[in-house]
A and B are shown apart, each in its own frame.
Chain A
Amino acid sequence: MWWSILRSRYTITFGTIAIVSILWNIYVVLNDDGKFSGRVVDMQGRPVAGATVKLGKKSLVSINFHGEEITDAEGRFAFSGHAFYHVHIEAKKQGLGISKSDHHLYFRGQNMALSDPLRLRPEPKG
């Protein structure tokens, strides 16, 4: 009798849903330190040191900046401890240009390491 309850459609469906949500929550807990890292390069692909990188929370109407980092000698930067799910990142270096991009995350504070470097482009005049 227990076996038939276990194999009924309801247990299978809800059981699968429960298992998937538990696994997903475990993944979330393990990966929500709010780390955000990447590299800054210029138009030719050379790493840029000393660029200012700003991280902001993007909502439907506005952007709120929350943190600022300076890239190291190899153009790398790393933030940690943010709790946003829609991130706006801006890298700027005087004379080389600016790079803005938006990133969607799957949950608050998901750890993310950018695979493509942020390419600085000269700011448009005007």
Chain B
Amino acid sequence: MHRYPHWPLHLALSAVCAAMLVPFYWVLKTSLTGENIFTFPPSILPEDPHLFFFVDVWYTIPFASYLANSLIVSIIVVAANVFLNAMAGYALTRDFVGKKAVIMLFLSCMMIPFQATIIPAYLITKELGLLNSYMGMALPLCSTIVCIFVFKASFDAIPKSLIDAARIDGVPDWMIIYRIMVPLSQSAIATNVILAFIWSWNNFLWPLVIIRDEAMQTLPLGLSRFLSVYENTTGALYAFCIMVLVPGLVIFLLSQKQFIAGLTSGAAKG
């Protein structure tokens, strides 16, 4: 195609990347030095860095408890998601009476944002006795329509000849699913795991609504509580931010491909 110089692109893109990275770098710098909270002007490089804000955070707030709660809820959500979505996705590949109605139902559920349901969802959770519990936090997130369609597309892509051959050989349905379809949909499973984990890990509004116990709070709740109790006058807040950001970033960087593939495939046509 046309040859044009690359360096303006690099320049522009580097400027954009700097704009995206500066907030992260700034938080990291403050968590290491505690300057720039009261002093002015700030410096570009960390002067005199130390790790003691992280020690403060570790001992003054129940970080381990927050981390454990977030982790437990996320694991429940991921496990439930993989099973329920795979099952529903498989069911949607078969033909049956009412299939169109079910698909329309799923699509219309996609239009109902979670925030439009928080009040009755809170009442329902209360009726079920699940307030302040892991299951209560996990239950609304246990199945997502985007992921169901991801599984459906992945199952549809398995060559029918393979399944037919197995059928003719008399293999029962459940064995077909377990031995053939599931191993061939590993990327759909990976996508599902990543998406469900990140959505559950970052979820703020729902735990805020149903958790009142100090002991059951998750990371986002802990972070906002810290902000309201200690205000942003200590480097410990930013150390806490870094400690909260790092797992999310690590997980994202490890699984970029699946994450992006999941977001775009479930959303774009085809």
Give A contacts to B, CB under 8 Å: 9-10, 13, 60, 85-86, 104-108
Contacts and interface: CB of A to CB of B under 8 A. Distances in A.
Interface stretch (B47-55, B100-108, B216-224): B47-55
B187 to A, nearest CB: 14
Nearest to B230: A60
B189 to A, nearest CB: 14
Contact size range, B: 10 to 19
A104 B50 contact: yes
Interface string B46-65: 00001110011001100000
B250 to A, nearest CB: 7
B51 A106 contact: yes
Nearest to A108: B59
A107 B55 CA distance: 7
A85 B254 contact: no
A9 B254 contact: yes
B59 A85 contact: yes
B32 to A, nearest CB: 13
Interface of B: 50-52, 55-56, 59-60, 234, 250, 254
B43 to A, nearest CB: 21
B62 to A, nearest CB: 15
A104 B55 contact: yes
Contact of B55 (A9, A10, A106): A106
Nearest to A59: B60
A interface secondary structure, majority: loop
4 interchain residue pairs of minimum CB distance:
A104-B52, A9-B254, A85-B55, A85-B59
A105 B50 CA distance: 11
Nearest to B51: A106
B198 to A, nearest CB: 15
Nearest to A104: B52
Contacts of A9: 254
B59 A10 contact: no
Contacts of A104: 50, 52, 55
Contacts of A105: 55
A60 B57 CA distance: 12
Nearest to B254: A9
B61 to A, nearest CB: 12
A105 B54 CA distance: 11
Nearest to A84: B59
Contact of A13 (B52, B60, B250): B250
Contacts of B55: 85, 104-107
B82 to A, nearest CB: 16
A48 B59 CA distance: 35
Given A10-B254, A13-B250, 11 more contacts: A9-B254, A13-B254, A60-B60, A60-B234, A85-B55, A85-B56, A86-B52, A104-B50, A104-B52, A106-B51, A106-B55
A37 to B, nearest CB: 21
Most-contacted residue by chain A among B50, B55, B59, B250 (CB, 10 A) = B55
Contacts of A107: 55
Nearest to A103: B52
